[in-house]
Amino acid sequence: MDALVLPGGPLGVTPMHMPFEATLTLTPDTYQRVVTETGVSTAKHGAKYLLVLNWHEGNIPSLAIAAEELHRDHGMTVLTVQACYVAAELFGSDYGGLTHGGEIEALAVLACRPDLVHLDRIEYSSDHSHGRKWDKLRRTRSYQPVLRDIRTIAPTGWYGAPEHATADKAKTMLEGIAGAIAKEATDIFRLLDEAQGGTAEIKHLKMAS
């Protein structure tokens, strides 16, 4: 996409993981300000377009508010992409759906940091059928209960079947997600540009989150 990649920062909004020791979380307002002020800095240097790539669902509300502020107050054209949902749409049927720590999420890490993936340490002490029911409930459009403790999904904090993850699958998934997002985002930016009466040539700034 001929984009400059900005630092997204290592922290997000994840209070539901706080029951596990060593978890670090930002408040929604703090995370929103980090994203907004990063965008504002680029806008002051002339940036007009911002693509925010996000995988963590806990960040979504803050990103929506930040995107609106960057649009209304700073004249930026902002597109947020939930990469985890793109992954589920493209590979969910083959890789067990979008679970929490299952194959899709293992592949996402395996594609970039294989040293962090230790499939030999899999521990199936949780009720994974219970986790699937809870995760499905929190991802519906109509009913969205607050997940206050990730252990509600499963005592270990995860569920799914990551044991089938491989480096080849990781590369395939990464390339598939990246290609799909690049194509769709380019089309959306072009439509937005045409609607606003701008030029057809678009230079993007991308922020990974």
CB 110 within 8 A of CB 117: yes
- In percent, the amount of the chain with pLDDT more than 90 equals 66
Mean pLDDT value across residues 172-189: 97
Mean pLDDT value across residues 78-95: 96
When pLDDT is cut at 50, 70 and 90, the band that residue 135 belongs to is confident
**CATH dotted code for 3-208:** 3.40.50.10310
Mean pLDDT value across residues 77-82: 96
What residue type is assigned to position 135 of the chain? D
Q: Which of 11-20, 73-82, 162-171, 197-206 has the lowest mean pLDDT?
A: 197-206
198-203 contacts: CB < 8 A, separation 24 or more? 202/49, 203/2, 203/3, 203/47, 203/48, 203/49
> pLDDT tens for residues 138-157?
777 787 778 889 888 888 88
Examine the pLDDT at 209 and tell me if it is beyond 60: no
Quote the pLDDT of residue 143: 77
Examine the pLDDT at 89 and tell me if it is beyond 50: yes
Quote the pLDDT of residue 86: 97
Examine the pLDDT at 109 and tell me if it is beyond 90: yes
Arithmetic mean of pLDDT over the chain: 89
Quote the pLDDT of residue 124: 80
- Residues ≥6 apart with Cβ < 8 Å to 92: 98, 104
Q: How many residues does the chain have?
A: 209
Quote the pLDDT of residue 206: 61
When pLDDT is cut at 50, 70 and 90, the band that residue 200 belongs to is very low
